[in-house]
């Protein structure tokens, strides 16, 4: 049994690696135009590190404070969540500049507004999931931590690989959050992603058609904004791919690893 499971995991890993390789190969064959830097190849940029812009970092810190304070005042964040938002926003604004800041805001504002959608119905499931309502430090970094890393490296290298990574990471965060905020409101009970069994709303690893509609909508929004910023439509499928795969993997982990620790 162990050998069979190991073989399945190996096959899954090989398939994922092959898919990623195909995606990068396709990306490298494209002719990207517009910001940033007339994207053509997915290069890392480590051979051409850029000087840190102190003024932009200072402005990033100021904008990060304003961003966190506004979100806290609106009731979207706890106090420690506001501190996390300052770090995420400040570093993203400071290193990534306006384009990355726009993408971050495009994730945060709609996601916060969706937290209030169907609030009375969501209260019934408040003990079953924690993504809805005010966000704390851990939730802020769970959604924005990877994006911050991409933003910092992009700011140091100005390489398009890290810009694409930022778009993908924000798409995943948006898709996952929207799936929770909207999917929980489905009229029909969700099904466990691993077995198809009908389970209670809020069950870890459960999925629904409404949830996947939310995933496509959220990641599609980020991809569309990436398209507008770069003037290239190819960021739309990249965001959709990242959002769907990332959310599906999150559901699989919730139905397997998390379920093991809860049992």
DSSP for 65-106, written as a single string: HHHHHHHHHTTSB-HHHHHHHHHHHHHIIIIIHHHHHHHHHH
What pLDDT score was predicted for residue 136? Answer: 87
Neighbour count for residue 74 (Cβ, 10 Å):
12
Position 235 in a domain? yes
What pLDDT score was predicted for residue 124? Answer: 63
Position 12 in a domain? no
Position 78 in a domain? yes
What pLDDT score was predicted for residue 86? Answer: 94
Domain boundaries, position 69: 30-262
What pLDDT score was predicted for residue 44? Answer: 56
Q: How far is CA 225 from CA 60, 165, 176, 262, in A?
A: 21, 15, 18, 39
Position 116 in a domain? yes
Torsion sign across C-alpha atoms 218, 224, 225, 230: positive
What pLDDT score was predicted for residue 11? Answer: 47
Position 17 in a domain? no
Please give the tally of structural domains in the chain: 1
Position 253 in a domain? yes
The gap from C-alpha 221 to its chain's centroid, in whole angstroms, comes to 12
Position 81 in a domain? yes
Position 16 in a domain? no
Q: Is 158 exposed, middle or buried (0-12, 13-18, 19+ CB in 10 A)?
A: middle
pLDDT by residue for the chain (263 residues), tens only, comes to 444 444 444 444 445 445 545 555 555 554 444 444 444 455 555 556 666 777 888 988 998 999 899 888 888 889 999 999 999 999 999 999 989 999 999 998 898 888 777 666 666 655 555 555 578 898 888 888 899 999 999 988 888 888 999 999 999 999 999 998 898 888 888 888 888 888 887 778 889 999 999 999 999 999 999 999 988 888 899 999 999 999 999 889 888 876 544 44
What pLDDT score was predicted for residue 8? Answer: 44
Neighbour count for residue 3 (Cβ, 10 Å):
7
What pLDDT score was predicted for residue 87? Answer: 94
What pLDDT score was predicted for residue 111? Answer: 87
């Amino acid at each position: 049994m162990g050998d069979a499971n190991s073989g399945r995991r190996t096959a899954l890993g090989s398939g994922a690696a092959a898919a990623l390789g195909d995606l990068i190969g396709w990306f490298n064959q494209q002719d990207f135009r517009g910001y940033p830097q007339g994207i053509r190849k997915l290069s890392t940029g480590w051979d051409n590190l850029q000087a840190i812009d102190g003024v932009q970092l200072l402005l990033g810190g100021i904008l990060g404070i304003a961003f966190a304070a506004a979100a806290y005042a609106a009731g979207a964040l706890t106090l420690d969540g506001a501190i996390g938002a300052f770090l995420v926003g400040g570093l993203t604004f400071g290193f990534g500049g306006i384009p990355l800041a726009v993408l971050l805001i495009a994730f945060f504002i709609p996601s916060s507004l969706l937290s209030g959608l169907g609030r009375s119905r969501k209260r019934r499931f408040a003990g079953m999931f924690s993504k809805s309502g005010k966000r704390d430090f851990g939730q802020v970094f769970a959604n924005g931590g990877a994006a911050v890393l991409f933003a910092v490296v992009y700011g140091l290298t100005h390489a398009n690989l890290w810009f694409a990574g930022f778009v993908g990471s924000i798409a995943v965060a948006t898709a996952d959050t929207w799936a929770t905020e909207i999917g929980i409101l489905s009229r029909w009970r969700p099904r466990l992603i691993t077995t198809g069994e009908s389970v209670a709303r809020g069950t870890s690893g459960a999925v629904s058609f409404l949830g996947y509609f939310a995933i496509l909508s959220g990641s599609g929004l980020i991809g569309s904004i990436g398209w507008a910023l770069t003037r290239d439509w190819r960021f739309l499928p990249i965001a959709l791919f990242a959002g769907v795969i990332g959310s599906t993997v999150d559901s699989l982990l919730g139905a397997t690893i998390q379920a093991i620790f809860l049992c």
